[in-house]
Amino acid sequence: MHNRRQLGRWGEEFAAALLETRGYRIVERNWRCSRMGEIDLVVCQEGLPVLVFVEVRVRRGADYGTPEESVTAAKQARLKLLAQAYVQAHAWEGDWRIDVVALHLDRNGRVVCQQHIEDAVTG
């Protein structure tokens, strides 16, 4: 993983596999809304009528803070707008939430901590 884009794609694959082992089904990957950006993963949990929008954050080392800290107020606002755009575009009438999957890597690229934060973005 030499650049940010490769690292991001790897993180999304890792997060998707992690969520699938926890009973989630992948609905969409990298859903784009040209005006606002992209939702990394859209998933649903087996047996629950809730759509989950997942932001995947990966950090190698701690020089630039934790993955969780990288979900700034501005990023949270954009995620809410993206989720609302998705709900509207797909005529979803059920509940939804925004989760974060945070992956901490060591300098060699090994996952040293993984965290699935449910309902990480509220409001």
The upper half-sphere exposure of residue 37, i.e. CA atoms within 13 Å in the direction of its Cβ, equals: 15
CATH of 4-121, one of 3.30.565.10, 3.30.360.10, 3.90.25.10, 3.40.1350.10: 3.40.1350.10
Overall pTM > 0.75:
yes
Give the integer Cα–Cα distance in Å for 17 and 3.
21
Q: Does residue 25 register a pLDDT over 60?
A: yes
- What is the tens place of the pLDDT at every residue in 40-93? 999 998 888 999 999 999 988 776 778 888 888 999 999 999 999 999 999 999
Cβ-based neighbours of 118, under 8 Å, separated by 6 or more: 97, 99
Region of 8 please: left (phi>0), alpha (psi -120 to 50) or beta. Answer: alpha
Residue 1 confidence (pLDDT): 52
pLDDT of residue 2: 60
CA 102 to chain centre: 8
